[in-house]
Amino acid sequence: MEEVSRLKKSLSGLKGRLKVIAKDLTKACGTEHESLLMEEIITSLEALATKARKTQDELESSLPEEEIEREVENYMAMERTIRELRVEARRRLKKPAEDQPARVKGTENDGSSAPVLPKWNLPKFDGNVLLFTAFWDQFEAGVHSRSDIGDVTKFVYLRTCLEGAALDAIAGYSVTGANYNAAVTTLKSRFGRPKLIAEKHILELVQMEKCTRPTVTELRRLHDGMSSNVRALVALNKDPNNETLSAAEVLLAVLKQKLPTIVRKRWEKQGFRRKPGRDHVRSIFRVPADAVRN
258 burial level (CB within 10 Å; 0-12, 13-18, 19+) = exposed
What is the Cα 35 distance to its own chain's centre? 34
* C-alpha–C-alpha distance, residues 284 and 265, integer Å: 17
Same domain, 165 and 185: yes
Do 69 and 106 meet the contact criterion of CB atoms below 8 Å apart? no
Do 283 and 276 meet the contact criterion of CB atoms below 8 Å apart? yes
Which domain range does residue 176 map to? 129-192
Same domain, 11 and 81: yes
Same domain, 33 and 83: yes
Predicted pLDDT of residue 101: 41
Distance between the two ends of the chain, CA-based, in angstroms? 55
Predicted pLDDT of residue 120: 54
Last residue of a domain, one of 94, 113, 138: 94
Tell if the pTM clears 0.85, that is, is over it.
no
Same domain, 284 and 215: no
| Helix spans in the chain (H) | 2-28, 34-62, 65-94, 132-139, 151-161, 164-169, 177-191, 194-206, 216-235, 247-256, 261-268, 280-285, 287-293
Same domain, 9 and 78: yes
Same domain, 237 and 250: no
Answer yes or no: is 119 within a domain: no
pLDDT tens for the chain, 294 residues long, are: 788 888 888 888 888 888 888 888 888 787 777 888 888 888 888 888 888 888 888 888 888 877 887 888 888 888 888 888 888 888 887 764 444 444 444 444 444 444 443 445 788 999 888 889 889 988 998 889 888 888 888 898 899 899 999 999 998 898 888 899 999 999 998 888 778 788 888 888 888 888 887 788 888 888 888 888 788 788 777 888 777 777 777 777 787 777 777 766 666 665 455 554 444 445 445 555 555 555
Answer yes or no: is 111 within a domain: no
Answer yes or no: is 99 within a domain: no
Last residue of a domain, one of 71, 94, 117: 94
Same domain, 8 and 85: yes
Answer yes or no: is 124 within a domain: no
Number of domains in the chain: 4
DSSP 104: B
Same domain, 155 and 144: yes
Last residue of a domain, one of 174, 192, 210: 192
Answer yes or no: is 110 within a domain: no
* C-alpha–C-alpha distance, residues 294 and 125, integer Å: 31
* C-alpha–C-alpha distance, residues 184 and 155, integer Å: 9
Answer yes or no: is 100 within a domain: no
Coil vs helix vs strand at 162: strand
Coil vs helix vs strand at 125: strand
Coil vs helix vs strand at 115: strand
**How many C-beta neighbours within 10 Å does residue 26 have?**
18
Predicted pLDDT of residue 278: 46
Answer yes or no: is 115 within a domain: no
Predicted pLDDT of residue 277: 44
* C-alpha–C-alpha distance, residues 5 and 23, integer Å: 28
Same domain, 48 and 86: yes
**How many C-beta neighbours within 10 Å does residue 273 have?**
6
Closest CA to 265 of 237, 291, 228, 234: 291
Predicted pLDDT of residue 106: 44
Same domain, 201 and 221: yes
DSSP 11: H
Answer yes or no: is 117 within a domain: no
Same domain, 234 and 257: no
